Structure 1
Amino acid sequence: MSGGARLENANPLIFQRTGERLLTASEEDEDVADPIDDREIFDILLTPNYSYDPEHPLSLEELNVVEQVRVKVNDEESTVSVEFTPTIPHCSMATLIGLSVKVKLLRSLPARFKIDVHITPGTHVSEDAVNKQLADKERVAAALENSQLLEVVNQCLSTRPA
């Protein structure tokens, strides 16, 4: 945030990060096909030092915006659903956070996956409007054609701010 900008949530609660996932020998074996699961999607979203809140130099996990229990994957049906919880009910960054989560998954997963990113029900005053925007492929594509918005999304997905 720029020096003169006022933060909506100046003192967010900070949560413990999930520990590293221990990989089994079969998961590390490139010759063995293993299905994509909830934890793998959670790890993609929260790769150490990636996926940050637009207002704070904190990960979405540290702010409890994204939790593993709110990630659902059906590898056979090629669907991924991620619920995210804004830190405050009137967060003006909710659409940007959802767009960043969606972009991270679009860039990381095979094209066969249908990706649904939405606000956890009852956690935001404009959840219906934000969810409608995130579900609309044309709106998402148009947003990503906006170079300034794309730059902000990329900042949210870049390495931890200094």
Structure 2
Amino acid sequence: MVTDNHREDGEEEKMLLLSENEVDGASELQMYRIHSIEATVLIRQLPSQGISFKLWLPATTLVTLLDNYRRDPSSSPLTRTLSNFRSDGSDSSRLNIVELGSGTGIVGIAAAATLGANVTLTDLPNVIENLKFNADANAEVVARLGGNIHVAPLRWGEAADVEALGQSVDLILASDVVYHEHLYDPLLKTLRFMLLEGDDKDAKRVLLMAHLKRWKKESIFFKKARKFFDVEAIHRDDPQEGSRTGVVVCTENDEVSRKERTKEEMTLGLLNANPVVQAKKERLVRTQDQYRNCGVDPLDIYDILSSISVWITFTPTIQHCSMANLIGLCLRAKLRECLPLHYKIDIKVSPGSHADEDSGEVIYAVAVNKQLNDKERVIAALENPNLRQLVDECIVVSSEM
């Protein structure tokens, strides 16, 4: 079947979906028209085999941005990122790109075709066969500008898989890779290894990632990433119909780590390797920020303070004491005066400390506890003038204290 996609500049782009197997629909072939090089990229999908074998919206966004960058770099949001890797056309200066979680490989193939780059498509071992199919199907298109495509397995969090790639990396591509929470840390480990721990630590490396936010928990990944990388959003798509958010394209580089390394190198030159230590009385120097944890988010602190609960348990001095309700009421009134209004107060009689005068048996004062923690009953009781006067006399602070 044929579907129509409208581009931002008003030009109509047609994508052709063909079914290799009309009976079970096991595979689908989709054609992407890349206008900047007047070529068509062919991609095979295998939807029945899982999410890695399907095309997703963030990948389409990156392909469109790469296509537009090739046509008009001056107006592209990718210009500042890609201008650092300009090539003179020789093999030695050609851009080296690795795509993480390639899936169908459309983003890496488009990058190789439009940038004339050496691109390595990576994903889990079970995805490699389909990646090779798509790479081979587009080899002629990629070679027009001198690009090359390689395919290699790469499991996130496995340093050995990154080392097996055996090449320097200039640019890392990724689209829609932040989804499963248990993969956040392995993905960050791989990014740290590729961006921060390469052979040439002074080389500038950048991650270009497209992401479509689906769950609030995904912000955890970016919060962790900002501890190691300089994260910057460079492009936002308008939300599609029925969606509240659009695809966001951001870059991550090693600027944070680079600044720390520079600071460390400058400091090391000032250190005395054999300092003279003078004996002196140990004294604790207190600072204003001594107990401050810089890693705590202010919103997290607000959540903690807004959910504080106060539990009070009291024991009447006489078991057969009918004043338990009054004692609890006075405690609640006093605490309400002293504590912020959003604190939750729970007052109970100590289990087994209140006796039923008729039976003489020690029982759990369930009824008393229910009355003391019923807001409507407490409010109604305090509206009684006589009872209110008695409560005020109980909680007033004596001048002799």
User: Aligned-pair distance for 1:128?
Assistant: 1.5
How high is the sequence identity, in percent, across the aligned residues?
47
CA distance in structure 2 between the partners assigned to 1:95 and 1:89 by the alignment: 13
Q: CA 1:135/1:125 → structure 2, altered by over 3 Å: closer, same or farther?
A: same
Q: Secondary structure at the match of 2:330?
A: helix
Q: CA 1:76/1:128 → structure 2, altered by over 3 Å: closer, same or farther?
A: same
Alignment of 1:29-108 (within 5 A): 77-108=307-338
For 2:395, the equivalent position in structure 1 comes to 157
> How many corresponding residue pairs?
93
CA distance in structure 2 between the partners assigned to 1:75 and 1:104 by the alignment: 21
CA distance in structure 2 between the partners assigned to 1:95 and 1:131 by the alignment: 8
CA distance in structure 1 between the partners assigned to 2:399 and 2:347 by the alignment: 24
Deviations 1:73-110 (A, max 9, x none): x8563100000000011111110000000011111111
Q: Secondary structure at the match of 2:354?
A: coil
TM-score calculated relative to the size of structure 2: 0.22
Alignment of 1:140-151 (within 5 A): 140-151=378-389
TM-score calculated relative to the size of structure 1: 0.51
Deviations 1:109-157 (A, max 9, x none): 1111010011011100252121111011100000010111000001110
Structure 2 contact 348–369 (Cα < 8 Å) conserved: yes
**Higher radius of gyration, 1 or 2:** 2
1:124 matches 2:341: no
Q: Secondary structure at the match of 1:99?
A: helix
Kindly indicate whether structure 1 or structure 2 has the higher relative contact order, using CA contacts under 8 Å at least 6 residues apart: 1
Specify every segment of 5 or more residues in structure 1 that has no aligned partner in the other structure, as ranges: 1-25, 34-73
CA distance in structure 1 between the partners assigned to 2:305 and 2:391 by the alignment: 27
Structure 2 contact 306–342 (Cα < 8 Å) conserved: no
Per residue, is there more helix in 1 or in 2? 2
Specify every segment of 5 or more residues in structure 2 that has no aligned partner in the other structure, as ranges: 1-285, 293-303, 357-364
